[in-house]
A and B are shown apart, each in its own frame.
Chain A
Amino acid sequence: MAKKGLARWISHLDLVRALERALRRARIPVALSRGHNPLPRVSFASALGLGATSEAEYFDVELSRRMPVSAFTVALASQLPEGLELLEAREVPATSPSLGARVNLAAYRVTLALSDSGAREAFRAAWTRARTAEGLVIPRHREGRVRFLDARPLVHSLAIAESPDGLELRLDLVLDPRGTVRPEEFVAFLAQEAGIDLPPDAIRVHRTGLFRQEGERRRLPWELY
């Protein structure tokens, strides 16, 4: 599924709810969880941060009865609100482990509005320092306390290119169940290290892919089954 335009301001929780409602409107027979509070069995591979767009939102929907993939696609596509677009659906065995447990890499395209060439240079230099030096340690403030996250093992790769009005980053981040670094958090850290003032609306994050990376091999979520 793609998340475009204004839909980028829909939080992950709200997106899950919007999808569940779309499935119900589409009369797709979604399996319900057991227990006191039966919930539709829908799960996303990885939550996307607020404000980011994406062309790679993967989710599992468990059905209570089998239906053709084409029928599923047509029914759901017509019920998705503006900005959410179903790109493709595939059938996978219901016994498969969850997507979230299988993908371990998220690829992003991050564009930074940086008109000043000095600032662009400073940003590049900050990355060069961060990747080589000991420290890619990002402070996290929560409830008045600061914790430090060593982000180095979480940044798989970063390529920086010039764009008409700033920089375009190709940023691949590791999804680790023990913790991840958010793309905007990483970029803001580098900007701070570079001494650049980068307001929140100068960073645009777009997710281009979710993968399972094993050694040099990179597979799409549905190539895992």
Chain B
Amino acid sequence: MLPDNRSEATPYDDILPRVTRPARYLGGEWNAVRKDHRSVEVLFALAFPEIYEVGMSHLGSMILYHELNLRPDVACERVFCPWIDMEEEMRRRGLGLHALESGRPVAEFDIVGISLQYEMNYSNVLNLLDLAGLPLRADRRDAGHPLVLAGGPCAFNPEPLADYLDAVVLGEGEEVVHEVVDAFRRWKRAGKGRDALLRSLAEIPGVYVPSLYQVDYHPDGTVAEVSPKIAGVPPRVVRRALPRLDDRDYPTRPIVPYLETVHDRAMVEIFRGCTRGCRFCQAGIIYRPVRERPADRVQELARELVGATGHQEVSLASLSASDYSAIEEVARRLVDEGVGLGVGISLPSLRSDAFSVELAHQVQRVRKTGLTFAPEAGTQRLRDVINKQITSDDLRAAVESAFRNGWRTLKLYFMIGLPTEDYPDLDGIAELVREVEAAYRTVKRGGGPPLKLSVSVAPFVPKPHTPFQWEPQLLLEELRKRQEYLRRRIPRRVRLSWHDPELSFVEAVFARGDRRLARALEIAWEGGAKFDSWSEHFSYRRWMDAFAAAGHDPRWYANRERPREEVFPWDHLETGVSKDYLWQERRRAWKGELTADCRFAACPGCGVCDRLGLSPVTGHAAAGEGS
């Protein structure tokens, strides 16, 4: 039932005066969709295992919210993790997790759809299920409990969560989520048991039901085989992807949060996928091929979004904005349109070259925020290994152009511990930092305000479905040693920030983990693990204790080089890119051979277009040759 006085009360009224940022728990924001539950058949809770400000910045969730609420038979509502103080108050009072729109308990929903963006949110996934009052393990839930669904990038190896999830959606959710809801409705009407629901879901292309698969292991602990337990369940599940972005409606009336969120702006997705081919990058594999949205449509959407949200900034979202074929024209048109209205344009994810800097200069005529470049590695040799197709000349030109155009706040991203990395590559990072400083002095002729340079360094985490999925992560001790080595070579005036090596180590364990890790995860959660992606809440000791208690050697997962023939726990989950291609890319990496982007050169044969029946959709001349 929909409470009539929702605007006056939340289930948490007594608590709100006692917690930080109570606006996280209100709902009722502009454009939030509230439906009468008596008029719908399926209640869908879209759960994001992070706090409100993070979850509300996620475009994918907003797309699904829109897709689902377009249906008259579905009410889709949002659920986020309460922050630590709120959780304490809730647990003290025995209050469960409620959905934001109606204030109804999550446990009363039909489907709980969880977004898996990051391995270090897994403890939050368990916490969220527990706060909702649901049994954690899928086999303890029955027809009276919500169906627990998951999707997102980590769905491509959901094995550490396999015991907790009922079904996992691989790839883009816009279409398949409707098929899941339809199957759910049919099942609900038929009044059958939970097993019947799971079987019908397993028949939907792109839907993986972990409990219907048997995993057998070799004596050495590696996977021997993953196979369906019953007939009719596909041995391999293939990812879903849209042929064209404009095949689906776009959320032009997204919710406008009161709180300042991480990405506090309207977002137009200008394209999906990236075929630059960085060999460490999972996003570059799981969203292939590139599908651009037509330029006219981008402009229309931006206009509609500003009208419906009142945002003062429109972000052109993609994995690499400079690669959009009509980026200059679209950016210019949007800037011109926005000037009089005080509406700005932002281009996140720019390439590190002069073209991108000029572009940023064009769009930031009004507000000049900092620029970020991601060379990732300090030497040309290592950038070739990872196929980061940025040369030292590109970088130099980019930096000089930035300084000439008036920027003096610059951020550089690097990784340490990349395959084949050695100490000279770390010297290369320090050298590059010195070159950037020198370029600033040259451009400013020694004068001007001081350069604000920050350098952010993250340890490399090998991810499944990438050419580096066979690679070991460097041992923690060695990562720390290299971190220290680099620290001593970066001048003090440069702001140096580190991603915790300990955190990256646990991330590496779960990224390529298998079902057996469920136990360690549960022990860590019982020990208080939550918000592990926040370094102040991450406890390395807690995780090591949990691995030990569960009888796992975390180094076996993180630091072991896998042989060519090893069966991975995620091999039965297909992105569309063949394992042979990934192996070939790994070999090319070791030889420092570059692989060109299929938008600008011949198809390198990754296999995705054939496997998914798609082709690239771009305005670039070389596009459309297929793979």
Do residues B258 and A5 form an inter-chain contact, with CB atoms below 8 A? no
Do residues B260 and A21 form an inter-chain contact, with CB atoms below 8 A? no
- The distance in angstroms between the C-alpha atoms of A24 and B18, with both chains bound, is 33
- The distance in angstroms between the C-alpha atoms of A68 and B535, with both chains bound, is 53
| B14 touches A (CB below 8 Å) | yes
| B238 touches A (CB below 8 Å) | no
- The distance in angstroms between the C-alpha atoms of A70 and B215, with both chains bound, is 69
| A101 touches B (CB below 8 Å) | no
Partner of B26, one of A9, A20, A23, A27: A9
| A25 touches B (CB below 8 Å) | yes
| A141 touches B (CB below 8 Å) | no
Do residues B10 and A6 form an inter-chain contact, with CB atoms below 8 A? yes
Stretch binding the partner chain, chosen from A31-39, A54-62, A173-181 = A31-39
Do residues A38 and B342 form an inter-chain contact, with CB atoms below 8 A? yes
Partner of A51, one of B17, B260, B341: B17
Stretch binding the partner chain, chosen from B204-212, B306-314, B351-359, B582-590 = B306-314
- Given contacts A21-B311, A81-B30, A201 and B18 within 8 Å (CB-CB): yes
Do residues B22 and A32 form an inter-chain contact, with CB atoms below 8 A? no
Do residues B259 and A24 form an inter-chain contact, with CB atoms below 8 A? no
Do residues A51 and B16 form an inter-chain contact, with CB atoms below 8 A? yes
- The distance in angstroms between the C-alpha atoms of A39 and B16, with both chains bound, is 31
**Which of chain A's residues 43-69 have a Cβ closer than 8 Å to chain B?**
50-51
Do residues B342 and A201 form an inter-chain contact, with CB atoms below 8 A? no
- Given contacts A6-B10, A6-B28, A11 and B308 within 8 Å (CB-CB): no
Do residues A14 and B16 form an inter-chain contact, with CB atoms below 8 A? no
Closest chain B CB from A80 CB (angstroms): 9
Do residues A22 and B259 form an inter-chain contact, with CB atoms below 8 A? no
Do residues A201 and B256 form an inter-chain contact, with CB atoms below 8 A? no
Do residues A200 and B18 form an inter-chain contact, with CB atoms below 8 A? yes
Do residues A20 and B312 form an inter-chain contact, with CB atoms below 8 A? yes
- Given contacts A36-B367, A37-B367, A51-B17, A25 and B23 within 8 Å (CB-CB): no
Residue of chain B at shortest CB distance from A32? B342
Do residues B17 and A24 form an inter-chain contact, with CB atoms below 8 A? no
| B366 touches A (CB below 8 Å) | yes
Most chain A CB inside 10 Å of its own CB: which residue of B27, B258, B368: B258
Partner of A38, one of B17, B259, B366: B366
Do residues A25 and B310 form an inter-chain contact, with CB atoms below 8 A? yes
Residue of chain A at shortest CB distance from B311? A21
Residues of A contacting B216 with CB < 8 Å? none
| B8 touches A (CB below 8 Å) | yes
| B553 touches A (CB below 8 Å) | no
Do residues B23 and A24 form an inter-chain contact, with CB atoms below 8 A? no
Partner of B8, one of A6, A11, A27, A203: A6
Residue of chain B at shortest CB distance from A203? B17
Residues of A contacting B21 with CB < 8 Å? 11
- The distance in angstroms between the C-alpha atoms of A39 and B341, with both chains bound, is 10
Closest chain A CB from B252 CB (angstroms): 13
Do residues B7 and A82 form an inter-chain contact, with CB atoms below 8 A? yes
Residue of chain B at shortest CB distance from A79? B310
Residues of A contacting B343 with CB < 8 Å? 24
- The distance in angstroms between the C-alpha atoms of A17 and B13, with both chains bound, is 24
Do residues B14 and A201 form an inter-chain contact, with CB atoms below 8 A? yes
Do residues B17 and A81 form an inter-chain contact, with CB atoms below 8 A? no
| B29 touches A (CB below 8 Å) | yes
Closest chain A CB from B356 CB (angstroms): 22
Closest chain A CB from B406 CB (angstroms): 11
| A100 touches B (CB below 8 Å) | no
Residue of chain A at shortest CB distance from B341? A24
Residues of B contacting A6 with CB < 8 Å? 7-10, 26-28
Residues of B contacting A25 with CB < 8 Å? 30, 307-310
- The distance in angstroms between the C-alpha atoms of A209 and B312, with both chains bound, is 31
Do residues A21 and B310 form an inter-chain contact, with CB atoms below 8 A? yes
| A183 touches B (CB below 8 Å) | no
Closest chain B CB from A59 CB (angstroms): 16
Closest chain A CB from B9 CB (angstroms): 8
- The distance in angstroms between the C-alpha atoms of A38 and B341, with both chains bound, is 10
Residues of B contacting A22 with CB < 8 Å? 30, 310
- The distance in angstroms between the C-alpha atoms of A13 and B28, with both chains bound, is 18
Do residues A11 and B307 form an inter-chain contact, with CB atoms below 8 A? no
Partner of B16, one of A9, A18, A20: A9
- The distance in angstroms between the C-alpha atoms of A28 and B259, with both chains bound, is 23
Do residues B16 and A81 form an inter-chain contact, with CB atoms below 8 A? no
Residue of chain A at shortest CB distance from B258? A14
- The distance in angstroms between the C-alpha atoms of A10 and B23, with both chains bound, is 6
- The distance in angstroms between the C-alpha atoms of A6 and B11, with both chains bound, is 12
Do residues B28 and A14 form an inter-chain contact, with CB atoms below 8 A? no
Q: Scan B1-44; emit 1 where CB is below 8 A from any A CB, else 0.
A: 00000011110011111100111001111100000000000000
Do residues A5 and B311 form an inter-chain contact, with CB atoms below 8 A? no
Do residues A37 and B366 form an inter-chain contact, with CB atoms below 8 A? yes
Residues of A contacting B256 with CB < 8 Å? 18, 21, 81
Q: Scan A82-101; emit 1 where CB is below 8 A from any B CB, else 0.
A: 11000000000000000000
Do residues B14 and A24 form an inter-chain contact, with CB atoms below 8 A? no
Query: 12 A-B Cβ contacts within 8 A?
Result: A5-B9, A9-B23, A15-B258, A21-B256, A24-B306, A25-B307, A25-B310, A27-B307, A39-B342, A200-B18, A201-B13, A201-B17
8 additional A-B pairs beyond A6-B10, A21-B311, A81-B30, beta carbons within 8 Å, are A21-B310, A22-B30, A24-B310, A24-B312, A36-B366, A36-B367, A50-B22, A200-B17
Nearest 6 pairs between A and B by C-beta? A21-B310, A200-B17, A24-B310, A25-B310, A9-B22, A14-B258
Q: Which B residues form the contact surface with A (CB < 8 A)?
A: 7-10, 13-18, 21-23, 26-30, 256, 258-260, 306-312, 341-343, 366-368
